């Protein structure tokens, strides 16, 4: 007779085993009473023994395994780093669901190979020239009242100061904007609590509008510049005409976070290089790494964006390259810009769920510094503040600080759960620190407020940390993910360039110890930040809502055809226009004949309504490649400069006769 036990009993056995020293996993002797969740076969223990799995390993497997056909409760949107893309990952299974093409052409999605993706990528041109990659850092899901609403996600390109808009109805990029006055960014994207603005904070100071100025004019000519891109939710687009920028001193503004709830209307950014070092190690000056870390403190930037928006309304701006800019002096006079000192090379500024506190990590300090929004506003009201070198009022640290919490070496970023705990990445310690919040969070957990309660080693050099909705007004708990920069000994050797390591961490129900559950190699770039949303908040299309759908405009395309009978070719002088239908398993027409030099406009409409019945369209020799999901229409336009006999064929294995889905494109010399 087969020995069986319920999953619950199995978990109990495993958990008991986990508490003790490494032990062998034994098949339990109880039989019967298999619950509706099914039974665990006795040979599970044999598998564990054969594979050398510890009780902890088996627990981790049970927590992360996703049976075929079941879907994850959480979805992570991760930066795709230097790949310029965005990753979509199921949590806790850690399965990659999609790589969304953003700043870099991507063939599977037909993005940047002749179709509408080309138009979107054009928005990202720098000075009229293609820049076909990006260094993506911080995804920002759109929010309503400080919580994710599942409608859009934004991401920045640090290398070129660009921001992209992805529509979550079809998980594809709709817009890229180039910052007209900044050449790099970092403190973005972050959204204000109702996605009124997408914040793009600056990084390395440079003259506004990418002008030239020698480095000995750094203090006068170089500036920081924070951008507030106005978001039109109905159109799903950033609107430059309603956006604005604020000129800042040339300290290197870093990460930002928007206030929410009690601090709605404010944005907080950390900064480094208040020293205004300009490098020059080659001419005997201190290198940047020394020059930028001389001072004991830098400045937390405290910006009242609602006041800034009113200042723009009142016309107290200067137009620079088509963007309204609030000059630094105006920002100071209007009382919308303040500083407060931050200890030792800060990184990360993370607002607590209710908006009461801002937690700043100090890369060279074992503490995180917790600022109180109440104290900040009281200090501003009291007035009489000293000024920095540029005249910005500075709130003394002791007037703004709630407390400091000693966590360990290299605290960077902080996220939150639903039980009053904060989780901070410790880069130098390679650890996740869990600590208790105070104030209104103190009665959510049993420990003393503002105290470190556990440090979990991770592998290795953790940068960002993500938690389920852990940067919103309504954190979800259950898991955090360590975004580790180094993986060293975690995976099979694939040569000197190693994958990054995303480690899934079980944070339990509050009092339990954190545990690493799963290592996920990211072998395509170095992601920075990620956000995790409850899957139930996402409501994407299954197929495009109507035949002839233009996915860029999110509307029916007037050039679409909706029946095969409408397929045709029309010639007008040297202009040839093709209306092509695409349905299993043929294109119509199957022969397109033009003359060398003709201008070709080619509309392709998928007539499919079946889910997952995607067709491709690859035109040999012309660098054209499209993805035609059910209902989608795409248009390509080109000059037939290369004479010869070409084929176009379907690149998705759509049916048994997929190989027969092709046509001839004849370009007569
Ligand atoms: Cu890598 Cu947020 Cu760009 Cu910190 S940043 S790690
Ligand atoms: Cu259509 Cu293969």
Atom of ligand 1 nearest to the CA of 463: 6
433 neighbors 408 (Cβ within 8 angstroms)? yes
DSSP 63: H
Q: Is residue 433 part of a domain?
A: yes
270 plus 355 within the same structural domain: yes
**For the CA atoms of 374, 200, 87, 74, what is the dihedral angle to 10 degrees?**
20
Q: Is residue 112 part of a domain?
A: no
Residue ranges making up the domain that contains 568? 549-668
Candidate from 529, 530, 531 with most ligand 1 atoms within 8 A of CB, to mutate: 529
Instruction: Select from 64, 83, 113 the last residue of a domain.
Output: 64
Examine the pLDDT at 30 and tell me if it is beyond 50: no
Residue nearest (by alpha carbon) to ligand 1 atom 1: 528
pLDDT digits (tens, 9 = 90+) for 505-514: 999 875 679 9
Q: Is residue 117 part of a domain?
A: no
Nearest ligand to the CA of 626 is 2
> Taking all residues of the chain, what is their mean pLDDT, rounded to a whole number?
94
60 plus 176 within the same structural domain: no
Q: How far is the CA of 86 from the centre of ligand 2 (A)?
A: 26
Nearest ligand to the CA of 190 is 1
Candidate from 159, 269, 347 with most ligand 1 atoms within 8 A of CB, to mutate: 347
Q: Could you tell me if residue 145 is left (phi over 0), alpha (psi between -120 and 50 degrees) or otherwise beta?
A: left
Q: How far is the CA of 100 from the centre of ligand 2 (A)?
A: 22
CB atoms closer than 10 angstroms to residue 49? 14
499 plus 587 within the same structural domain: no
* Cα separation values, 43 from 48, 435, 522, Å: 9, 40, 33
CA distance 525 to 136: 10
> Whose CA is closest to 253, among 287, 222, 220, 214?
222
Residue 370: which pLDDT band, with cuts at 50, 70 and 90?
A: very high
517 neighbors 73 (Cβ within 8 angstroms)? no
Q: How far is the CA of 122 from the centre of ligand 2 (A)?
A: 29
59 plus 78 within the same structural domain: no
Q: CB under 6 Å to ligand 2: residues?
A: 585, 615, 650, 652-654, 658, 661
Nearest ligand to the CA of 610 is 2
pLDDT score at 5: 37
pLDDT score at 37: 54
513 plus 586 within the same structural domain: no
59 plus 95 within the same structural domain: no
CA distance 395 to 302: 10
Atom of ligand 2 nearest to the CA of 654: 2
- 571: β partners: 576
- 258: β partners: 267
| DSSP for 291-344, written as a single string | HTT-SSEEEEEEEEHHHHHHHHHTT--EEETTEEEE-HHHHHHTT-EEEEEEES
Q: For residue 61, report the phi and psi dihedrals to the nearest 5 degrees.
A: -60, -45
> Whose CA is closest to 240, among 232, 249, 250?
232
Examine the pLDDT at 400 and tell me if it is beyond 70: yes
Q: Is residue 106 part of a domain?
A: no
Q: How far is the CA of 233 from the centre of ligand 1 (A)?
A: 27
Nearest ligand to the CA of 656 is 2
pLDDT score at 362: 86
Give me the long-range contacts of 561-567 (CB less than 8 A, separation at least 24). 561/603, 561/605, 562/605, 562/607, 563/607, 564/588, 564/607
How large is the C-alpha radius of gyration of the chain? 28
269 neighbors 349 (Cβ within 8 angstroms)? yes
Atom of ligand 1 nearest to the CA of 138: 2
CA distance 345 to 297: 7
Q: How far is the CA of 617 from the centre of ligand 2 (A)?
A: 8
Nearest ligand to the CA of 651 is 2
What is the mean pLDDT of the segment spanning 147-164? 98
476 plus 586 within the same structural domain: no
Domains in the chain: how many in total?
3
Examine the pLDDT at 26 and tell me if it is beyond 90: no
Atom of ligand 2 nearest to the CA of 615: 1
Q: Is residue 113 part of a domain?
A: no
Question: Strands 591-595, 662-668: parallel, antiparallel or unpaired by DSSP?
Answer: parallel
* Cα separation values, 116 from 105, 111, 554, 604, 666, Å: 11, 7, 12, 12, 24
Residue 555: which pLDDT band, with cuts at 50, 70 and 90?
A: very high
332 neighbors 308 (Cβ within 8 angstroms)? no
Length of the chain: 669
370 plus 466 within the same structural domain: yes
pLDDT score at 9: 45
Percent of the chain's residues with pLDDT above 90: 89
Residue 41: which pLDDT band, with cuts at 50, 70 and 90?
A: confident
Report field, pTM of the whole predicted structure over 0.85: yes
Q: How far is the CA of 527 from the centre of ligand 1 (A)?
A: 9
Atom of ligand 2 nearest to the CA of 585: 1
Q: How far is the CA of 247 from the centre of ligand 1 (A)?
A: 23
Instruction: Select from 512, 537, 562 the last residue of a domain.
Output: 537
Q: How far is the CA of 658 from the centre of ligand 2 (A)?
A: 5
Residue nearest (by alpha carbon) to ligand 2 atom 1: 615
In this structure, of 92-101, 276-285, 382-391, 460-469, the range with the lowest mean pLDDT score is: 276-285
Residue 470: which pLDDT band, with cuts at 50, 70 and 90?
A: very high
Instruction: Kindly state the helix (H) or strand (E) to which residue 601 belongs, with its residue range.
Output: strand 599-606
Q: How far is the CA of 553 from the centre of ligand 1 (A)?
A: 33
pLDDT score at 344: 82
Residue nearest (by alpha carbon) to ligand 1 atom 3: 137
513 plus 561 within the same structural domain: no
CA distance 581 to 591: 13
314 neighbors 333 (Cβ within 8 angstroms)? no
> Whose CA is closest to 72, among 565, 478, 647?
478
Q: How far is the CA of 254 from the centre of ligand 1 (A)?
A: 9
14 plus 149 within the same structural domain: no
Q: How far is the CA of 666 from the centre of ligand 2 (A)?
A: 21
Q: How far is the CA of 7 from the centre of ligand 2 (A)?
A: 44
Q: Is residue 402 part of a domain?
A: yes
pLDDT digits (tens, 9 = 90+) for 220-250: 999 999 999 999 999 999 999 999 999 999 9
Residue 655: which pLDDT band, with cuts at 50, 70 and 90?
A: very high
Nearest ligand to the CA of 136 is 1
pLDDT digits (tens, 9 = 90+) for 585-623: 999 999 999 999 999 999 999 999 999 999 999 999 999
Instruction: Select from 515, 537, 559 the last residue of a domain.
Output: 537
The gap from C-alpha 656 to its chain's centroid, in whole angstroms, comes to: 38
Q: Is residue 493 part of a domain?
A: yes
- 74: β partners: 91, 534
CATH number of 644's domain: 2.60.40.420
> Whose CA is closest to 530, among 159, 221, 131, 148?
148
Q: CB under 6 Å to ligand 1: residues?
A: 137-138, 186, 255, 347, 412-413, 463-464, 528-529
Q: For residue 632, report the phi and psi dihedrals to the nearest 5 degrees.
A: -85, 145
Residue nearest (by alpha carbon) to ligand 1 atom 5: 528
Atom of ligand 1 nearest to the CA of 186: 3
> Whose CA is closest to 330, among 349, 357, 303?
303
Indicate if the alpha-carbon torsion angle 585, 586, 587, 592 is positive or negative. positive
Examine the pLDDT at 29 and tell me if it is beyond 50: no
Atom of ligand 2 nearest to the CA of 650: 2
Q: How far is the CA of 324 from the centre of ligand 2 (A)?
A: 49
CATH number of 480's domain: 2.130.10.10
206 plus 323 within the same structural domain: yes
Q: Is residue 128 part of a domain?
A: no
Place of tokens 């490494």: 22
88 plus 51 within the same structural domain: no
pLDDT score at 510: 58
Examine the pLDDT at 340 and tell me if it is beyond 90: yes
Nearest ligand to the CA of 652 is 2
| DSSP for 362-414, written as a single string | ETTSSEEEEEEHHHHHHHHHH---EE-TTS-EE--HHHHEEEEEE--S-EEEE
Percent of the chain's residues with pLDDT above 70: 94
Residue 132: which pLDDT band, with cuts at 50, 70 and 90?
A: very high
């Amino acid at each position: 007779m087969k020995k069986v036990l319920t999953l619950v009993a199995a978990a109990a056995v495993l958990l008991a085993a986990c508490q003790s020293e490494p032990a062998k996993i034994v098949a339990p002797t109880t039989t019967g009473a298999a619950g509706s969740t099914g039974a665990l076969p006795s040979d599970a223990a044999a598998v564990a023994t054969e594979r050398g799995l510890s009780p902890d390993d088996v627990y981790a497997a049970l927590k992360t395994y996703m049976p075929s056909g079941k879907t994850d409760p959480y979805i992570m949107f991760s930066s795709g780093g230097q790949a310029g893309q965005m990753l979509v990952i199921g949590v806790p299974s850690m399965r990659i669901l999609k790589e969304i093409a953003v700043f870099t052409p991507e063939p599977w999605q037909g993005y940047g190979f002749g179709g509408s993706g080309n138009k979107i990528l054009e928005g990202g041109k720098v000075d009229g020239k293609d820049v076909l990659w990006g260094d993506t850092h911080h995804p920002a899901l759109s929010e309503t009242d400080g919580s994710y609403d599942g409608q859009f996600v934004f991401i920045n390109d640090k290398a070129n100061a660009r921001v992209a808009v992805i529509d979550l109805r079809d998980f594809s990029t709709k817009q890229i904007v180039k910052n007209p006055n900044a050449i790099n960014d970092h403190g973005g994207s972050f959204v204000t609590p109702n996605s009124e603005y997408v914040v793009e904070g600056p990084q390395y100071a440079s003259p506004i509008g990418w002008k030239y100025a020698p480095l000995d004019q750094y203090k006068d000519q170089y500036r920081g510049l924070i951008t507030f891109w106005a978001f039109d939710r109905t159109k799903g687009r950033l609107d430059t005409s309603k956006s604005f920028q604020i000129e800042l001193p040339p300290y290197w503004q870093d990460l930002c976070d928007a206030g929410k709830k009690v601090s709605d209307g404010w944005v907080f950014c950390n900064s480094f290089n208040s020293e205004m070092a300009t490098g020059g190690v080659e001419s005997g000056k201190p290198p940047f790494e020394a020059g930028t870390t001389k001072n004991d403190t830098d400045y937390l930037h405290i910006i009242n964006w609602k006041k800034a928006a009113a200042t723009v309304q009142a016309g107290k701006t200067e137009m620079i390259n088509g963007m309204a800019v609030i000059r630094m002096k105006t920002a100071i006079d209007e009382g919308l810009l303040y500083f407060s000192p931050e200890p030792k090379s800060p990184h990360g500024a993370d607002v607590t769920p209710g908006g009461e506190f801002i937690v700043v990590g100090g890369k060279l300090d074992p503490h995180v510094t917790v600022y109180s929004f109440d104290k900040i506003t009281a200090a501003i009201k009291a007035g009489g503040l000293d000024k920095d070198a540029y005249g910005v009022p500075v709130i003394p640290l002791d007037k703004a600080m709630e407390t400091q919490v000693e966590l360990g070496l290299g605290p960077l970023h902080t996220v939150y759960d639903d039980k009053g705990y904060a989780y901070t990445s410790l880069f130098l310690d390679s650890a996740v620190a869990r600590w208790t919040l105070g104030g209104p969070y103190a009665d959510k957990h049993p420990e003393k407020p503002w105290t470190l309660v556990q440090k979990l080693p991770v592998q290795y050099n953790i940068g960002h940390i993500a938690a389920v909705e852990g940067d919103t007004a309504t954190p979800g708990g259950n898991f955090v993910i360590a975004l580790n920069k180094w993986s060293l000994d975690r995976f099979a050797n694939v040569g000197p360039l190693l994958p990054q390591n995303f480690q899934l961490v079980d944070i339990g129900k509050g009092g339990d110890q954190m545990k690493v559950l799963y290592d996920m190699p990211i072998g395509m770039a170095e992601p920075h930040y990620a956000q995790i949303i409850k899957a139930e908040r996402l409501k994407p299309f299954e197929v495009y809502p109507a035949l002839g759908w233009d996915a860029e405009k999110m509307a029916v395309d007037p050039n679409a055809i909706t029946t095969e009978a409408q397929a045709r070719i029309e010639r007008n002088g040297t202009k040839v226009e093709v209306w092509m239908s695409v349905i299993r398993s043929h294109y119509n027409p199957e022969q397109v004949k033009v003359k060398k030099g003709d201008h070709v406009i080619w509309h392709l409409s998928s007539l499919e309504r079946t889910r997952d019945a995607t067709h491709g369209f690859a035109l040999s020799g012309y660098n054209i490649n499209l993805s035609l999901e059910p209902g989608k229409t795409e248009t390509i336009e080109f000059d037939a400069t290369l004479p010869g006999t070409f084929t176009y064929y379907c690149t998705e294995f759509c049916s048994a006769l997929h190989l027969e889905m092709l046509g001839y494109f004849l370009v007569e010399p």
